[in-house]
Structure formats: C-alpha cells, structure tokens
Structure 1
Amino acid sequence: MTRAFGSGVRGTLADVAVAAALTYWIVAATLDPPGPAFTGPPALAWLAGAAVAAPLVLRRRRPLPVFAVVTAAAAVATATGVTGFGVIFLSWVPVALALYSAAAVADRIPAVFVLAAGLAAPGVTIPWLYLRTGVTSASAPESEAPLWWQVETGIAVVVIAAAWSAGRLIRWRRALQAEAARRLARDAVADERLRIARELHDIVGHSLSLITVKATVANHLAEERPAETRAALQTIERASRSALTEIRRLLDVMREGDGPAADLTPAQGPAGLPELVERLRSAELRIDLEVTGAGDLPTAVGLTVYRIVQESLTNVIKHAGASRCGVTVRAAAGTVHIEVCDDGRGRPPTRRRGGGQGLIGMRERVSMYGGRLSTGARPEGGFRVAADLPYTPAEETA
C-alpha cells in the first residue's frame, strides 16, 4: 500500500510538471508565433493555455472526463484563434496525452469513440481557423513557418493517433499481465489442492489402521471378552465416522483427476510444532511458541494447523526480515485459533519475489473447514497471520 501510494504521488507530481511545462510552451508559442502576431491580451493566452493543459493533472484518476475537457478547451482555443499560427498543433499535444490515458482504460467501443472525437476536433477546427481568417503563406510572407492548414492538421492528427495506439497497446499488455496473474493463481490453487489430496492418504491411513487393529482385537476376543469386543467395535464406529467426515471434506476441494500418490510424508500436527520451531529458530530470528488445548484435535485439523504455522514461518524467514516472531495455537470450545506475528517489514510475500502462493494455500485450507483467515500489516509494525478453524472434538485419537 505504501509503495502504491508513493507511486501515485510521484505520478501526480510528474503530471503537474508536464501540465506546467505544456502551459508555458503553448503560451510562449502563442505570444511569439512563427506566423502572424497574436493580437489579443497575454492574459487570454495564459487562460487558454491553462485550460488546455492544467486538467492533465487529473488524467490518471479521471482519464475520460479529462480527455473531454481538454479536447473541448483545445477546440475552443483553436476555433477562436487564441493560438499561434504555425504552431496551432501544440495546443493538441495535451489532447494526445489525455487520449493516451483514456485509451489505456476504455473498453473497445468507448475507445473508438474517443479516437473519433480526438481526430475530428482538430480536423475541423484547424482548417476552420485558417479558412475563416484567410491566413496563408502568401498573406504572411514574413512567416517563419509554412502556413498551411493541411500541415498543422496532419501533425495534430498523427500525434493524436499515435497516442491512442500507445494507450491501446498499454491496455492490451495490462490485460495479458492480468490473465497471467489469474493463471498463476489458478495454478497455485490447483497445486495446493493436489497437495491436500495427497495428504488424504495420511488421514485415511491413520483411521484405517486403527479400524484394522480394533477389528482384529474384536475378532479374537468376541467370545472370551465381550466387554473389550464392544469397546473395540465402538472405536471402529467412531474412527469410521471420523474418516468419512474428513474424506468428504477433502474431496469437496479436490479437482477431478488422478495425482501421484508417491512421496507421501506422515501427517504432522500440533505435537510437531516444537520441533518445527526449533528447526527454524536461528540467531537472527527468535521464535516464541505457545500451544494450549490442541492435544485432541482431529487428525486433519491438526495437520491444517501445522501447515498454516509452517507456511507462515517460512514466509517470515523468506520475506519479512524479522528478528522476532510469535506463534500462538489455542483450541477451545470447538475452535482452534492460530496466530503468527512478526516484527518485520509488514508486507505480504509477492509473486514477483517468488512468494504469495503460500497465502493462497492457507486460505484454501481454512475455507475447507468454514473458517476465517486474516492477513495484514500490524499497526505496531510487522505482519500478522490469524486463522480460526471450527472443528468437532475427536472422541478417539491415534
């Protein structure tokens, strides 16, 4: 946000400088033209120059209205003769700049209309001024420039057409960049969903292993120890229901298609966070960990907690430039709260620097459970990732 604000301020200052320079250029050419002398008061020339160039200060914020105002001002100044013969086309340079900005943001049909208006205005008013006043090279032999309306009209039209073409090129390039960004986002989501699908193996494997063990116990003790058999069957029922719930939840976010099932690592959970923090802690980065009430989380929820903390700490190390980071995991009343705060630069990872996809993955994981994820800069400095995951407390673990 700070970078965007700074860029906007610099752009506005640049437009102010351009508007001032064009105003002076147009007025100087009007008061001392190469053709017949300007006979009006200098204040009129300054008023006309400012009316044509000053609106350019707002061309980035209101490109279409600015184009309309600048074009109307240039047309009036030209038609009434408040301009210098031989340099009339200078009054249309601000129109070209305004048209560039308008063409860069307008859709196809509006862009055609602004081009038509931009070409028609000088194409009508410049010949009209010459024909109305009867000024020609023959009538003003002292002129330092050829006084042909065809030349001045041609210069204005070429400059305006070139500006419109440049604006459309910029719009086309921005559209390509936006499509590339959307494609990267879709790919990032697809990759994350594939990783979640692979982790389904861990969740199913855990539950099925428990079911297999308890079924074996029940089979062997069915007649000798009915109480233990009943307890084993209850465990099988709970594990089966839990596995089905987690499978359905994961399948809801999986895209169709088979993915490789190799290279699967055991599922992690809150119990693995101390080892993770110890591995990532360094002399440059102090990491404080606080975990409360997270011992009985369902396997998939615990895995999500671990992944969110892991990705957040990875982003802190790669992008934040922080010296201290705090990790809090607190589970109570069917909701687990995860919070990772650092004292770094306070900016999220960007794709330009190779990041950004981790935040997409975290958002995908949190939304899978109907939870909430918030990320952003902290008022006191640094960056904060916070997530709340609702869950049904597990009756049977491991």
Structure 2
Amino acid sequence: MPRPVDAALAGAVGVVSVLGSVAASRHGHPARPLDWFAFALLVAGAVALLWRRSAPGAVLAVTMVVTLTYLLRGYGMGPIFLPLVVAYLTAAPRSPRWPMYALPAIGFVVVLWGVPWATGQEAVPAAGMVGIGAWLLTLVAIAEGIRQRREAIRARRQRAREAARSAEEERLRRASEERLDIARELHDVLAHSLSMINVQSGVALELLDSKPEQAGVALASIKDASREALVEVHAMLRTLRRGGELAPLAPAPSVADLDALVERARGAGIDVTTTVSGAPRRVPSAVDLAAARIVQEALTNVVRHSGEAAARVQVRYLPDRLEVCVDDDGRGSGASPGAGAGGGIAGMTERAHALGGTLTAGRRPGGGFRVEARLPLSDSDSGEDATA
C-alpha cells in the first residue's frame, strides 16, 4: 500500500503537471492543443509515483513512456518532465550506476534531435541545448548525492548492528564468566566445608558410644565448619543480590597463612605438613586467592578420597611465579582423587589457566597423588599490590 507521503507527492506532482501544461499550452505554440489523452498522460505519470518505492524501475519505465508519448504527440514542452524527474531520483540511487547515468544522455539525444525529427518541429537552439545539458548533469549529481547518503546511512546502520551484536556477545561472555566464577566460588566454599563435615560426622558416629568426648570434638568441628560455610554463602548471596562482583565479606584465604588453610584438613584427621621456600612476599590478590583455593581443594580431595592419609603442602616463591604443590602419601583406603573428584580438578585448572598458569594433577610414581600449580607473577601487579 502506498505511503501517505507518496500519495501527497503524487497529488502535488499531478496538480503541477496539469496546471503547468495548461499554462504552457496557452502561451506557447504546440503542434497539438491539449485534449483528453494529454490529460490522461499527465495523470498517469503522477499516479505511477504512488509505487515509486516498491517498484522504482517499473515506475521509471512508465514515466519515460508517458513523457515520450506526450512529446511525440506534439503537445509541447511543459511540466510533463516532473514525474520523470521524481521517478529517476528514486530509481537511480537504488540501481547500478552506469546504466542509470546513461539514461540522461540518451534522453538528451532523444528530446533534442529524435522528437523534433519525428514530429517535424524545429530543433532546439544551441543555447537551449546547453541549458538542458546542464540541467541533466545537475540531475545526475543530485542522484549521486542521494546514493552516497543512502550508502552512508546503510554503513552507519551496519556498524550499529555490529556494535550491538558485539555488545551482546560481550554481555554473554561476561555472563558466562560470572557463572563460572560463581560455580568455582560455591564449589570452593561448599565442597571444602561439606567434605570436612562428612568426615567429622563419620568420626563422631564411630566414637559416639565408645569415646563420647572425642565425638564431641568432631561435632564441634562440624559446627565450626558449617557456621563458616553459611557465613561465606550468605555473604556471596548478598553480593549477588546487589548485582556487584563477587566480594565475600569474610577475609579471603591466603597462602601467606598456611596454618589457617590446612586447619580443617588437620581437624579431619589428615597429618598435614607445610613448607615454604624462597623469600615470602606479597603477591597479586588474584594469584594469592587462586593459590589458596587450590590448596584447599587439593586437601579436600585428600580428605574425601584418601582417608587418614598424610599430606604435604609446599609453597615456592620464585622471581617470576608462585608454585604450589600438594602431595598425599596414598595410605588411605579411599578412591583416587582423579577418579571421583567431581569438578574439583577442573575448577583448579580453570583458576590456574585464568591467570596464565598451569596445573597438573595425577598419581605419583611412588604412590599417592600430587597437585602442582605454577602461577605467573606480574612485576607491575605485584608491585601495586605490595604497596596497596
């Protein structure tokens, strides 16, 4: 259906064409006065403009036929060219350049020599030829300007769509990273605490009748572990409800305090020894947290799968990296950590890779299991963190 603006344009062009042609016929010397066919041609050229957007090529062809027929009938010059101009300026920017730009040259030849020869009228004088030629060149220039503007608008819209698509992809990527961060944090908080609770509850059940005082110690450990887990989970949930980054209210674990990191594992019956080599120093907070979580998760796997084993935690401060190694002696009766560790090893690996480091986990040749992480240090980041 034609747009209202196209209907208004067609109506205005029709009125100007009819009134202008009547005035030109009265004051000029046409070979043939206007009759019903002339008015029909004038109206047909204007009506065709109703479909100039939906079928620009067809409308241009119709207005060309109407204009040429009008001239060949000898009705004389007048605003009959107006519908043709509108149709041309609509079709030219949407069509290949050179065919459309050749049409004015063809029209120049037809109007100045073809029509006078066919109708027996006098040829257009040289001054008129120059004027018509200049007018046609102006028409081509206007069509090219419209084309350039359309292409600029199209390019701008394309850039906007690409920017919107990139923004959406970035939003989805960030959402995915946030989900992974949440999953890792929940796993680190809950898996560590629940593993300790599971071990201590088993100990409490075994000692409840024979050694109730030791069962009480295990139950106290369960209470402490569950309380700490609830505090961290509630803090995380409050942060998520506010829409901020994960920033637990409790102090973040740190490899600088190994005794605190291994306290729960020791409470679960694991004989944990710690070793620190190199010159201890402040490291970037992201590296410190990742190293601490790796130690916690590795000890959680020892508790979960190795029973009453012994473990050794080593932290090595090197000039360009921080290394963390957790070994167990494999004396427990549980399954291998690699066989049933769930997402623990995957989470530790993701943490190391996110910092540009590496993590290896597997059985040792002499028995037991080893988790070893190498986390690179950035001098600039380390310096900033140390002076914070």
Structure with more relative contact order (C-alpha pairs < 8 Å, separation 6 or more): 1
TM-score when scaled to structure 1?
A: 0.45
TM-score when scaled to structure 2?
A: 0.46
